[in-house]
Amino acid sequence: MTSDIHVDVRNLSFNRGDRMIYDGLNVSFPRGKVTAIMGPSGTGKTTLLRLIGGQLRAEKGEGEVLVDGKDVGLMARNDLLALRRDKMGMLFQTSGLFTDLNVFENVAFPLRVHTKLPEDMIRDLVLMKLEAVGLRGARDMQPAELSGGMIRRVALARSIAMDPELIMYDEPFTGLDPISMGMIVRLIRGLNKALGLTSLLVSHDVDESCAIADYLCILSGGKVIGFGSPEELKNEGNDEVKQFLTGDPDGPVPFHYPANDYRQDLLGSSK
């Protein structure tokens, strides 16, 4: 059960519409570590998290996604729900706060649904989670009244409410001011240290990711082009990896979505 690998993706191929996202992806995420998943926009980082969470499934024979050694792609619906309830947390790119519930009730939601704890205990747990993200004072506000950064922090508090073993953050830093960003960085690190959480972090912030991640996993063109500690990759990574970490637009990774010739396009000689 407690092998060093928490999430193991084996030989995974996945298409969205006609577009191939992954073609034989192999990657293993170690238990109890923070792994930052990076890569150009549209490479399928969110898709990967959804595959791990079982919200997307690969076709039969198109590879396996093992969480704790079990293939989430083959799980029955109820087993999958139980796995997510007990073991997984996920922070979505757009947060997914319930707009009809206030901040307190949003964080209390998973506790109310999944546990039979008495009200005062739920209250304490929720206030602890809200305190951790610095929003205890905002407990009575509605999501519509919150700023983008506050929404993200509430969503973070909600995703750790059930104390998961594996937590996935999809771009937790976007839209945060430096102070909140520093706080979230410390929080992610702290959760990982204190509880031994396995954390998968999708982010575009090279500096932040290097600061908190034990490992970087760099995706491009449906493949892992670099996996290792930040120092390793900075020193020994190939050109693509280095280009990504320094943010250079010229290099082996194309900045442009595949398109036909620019000049011809402008002149209207092709469709």
Residues lying near another protein in the complex (CB under 8 A) are found at 53, 55, 77, 81-86, 88-90, 92-99, 109-110, 113-114, 155, 158-159, 162
The least CB distance from residue 42 to ligand ATP, in Å, is: 4
Q: Is residue 47 involved in binding Mg ion (CB under 5 A)?
A: no
Closest to ligand ATP by CB, 37 or 108: 37
The least CB distance from residue 47 to Mg ion, in Å, is: 8
Closest to another protein by CB, 114 or 193: 114
Q: Using CB distances below 5 to 8 A depending on partner kind, what does residue 44 bind out of ligand ATP, Mg ion, another protein, none?
A: ligand ATP
Cβ(36)–Cβ(206) below 8 Å: no
Q: What residues between 204 and 223 interact with ligand ATP by CB under 6 A?
A: none
How far, in Å, CA of 223 to CA of 13, rounded? 10
Residue that has been written with the tokens 């319930």 in this structure: 98
Q: Is residue 46 involved in binding Mg ion (CB under 5 A)?
A: yes
How far, in Å, CA of 127 to CA of 71, rounded? 35
Closest to Mg ion by CB, 29 or 104: 29
The least CB distance from residue 92 to another protein, in Å, is: 5
The least CB distance from residue 204 to ligand ATP, in Å, is: 7
Q: Is residue 43 involved in binding ligand ATP (CB under 6 A)?
A: yes
Q: What residues between 23 and 42 interact with ligand ATP by CB under 6 A?
A: 41-42
The least CB distance from residue 84 to another protein, in Å, is: 4
Interface pattern 7-26 for ligand ATP (x via CB under 6 A):
---------xx-x-x-----
Q: Which stretch binds Mg ion (CB under 5 A): 45-53, 99-107, 161-169, 227-235?
A: 45-53
- The DSSP code sequence of the chain is ---SEEEEEEEEEEEETTEEEEEEEEEEEETT-EEEEE-STTSSHHHHHHHHTTSS-PPTTS-EEEETTEEGGG--HHHHHHHHHHHEEEE-TT----TTS-HHHHHHHHHHHH----HHHHHHHHHHHHHHTT-GGGTT--GGGS-HHHHHHHHHHHHTTT--SEEEEESTTTT--HHHHHHHHHHHHHHHHHH--EEEEE-S-HHHHHHH-SEEEEEETTEEEEEE-HHHHHHH--HHHHHHHHT-SSSSS-SSPS-S-HHHHHHTS--
Closest to ligand ATP by CB, 41 or 99: 41
Tell me which residues touch ligand ATP (CB under 6 A).
16-17, 19, 21, 41-47
Tell me which residues touch Mg ion (CB under 5 A).
46
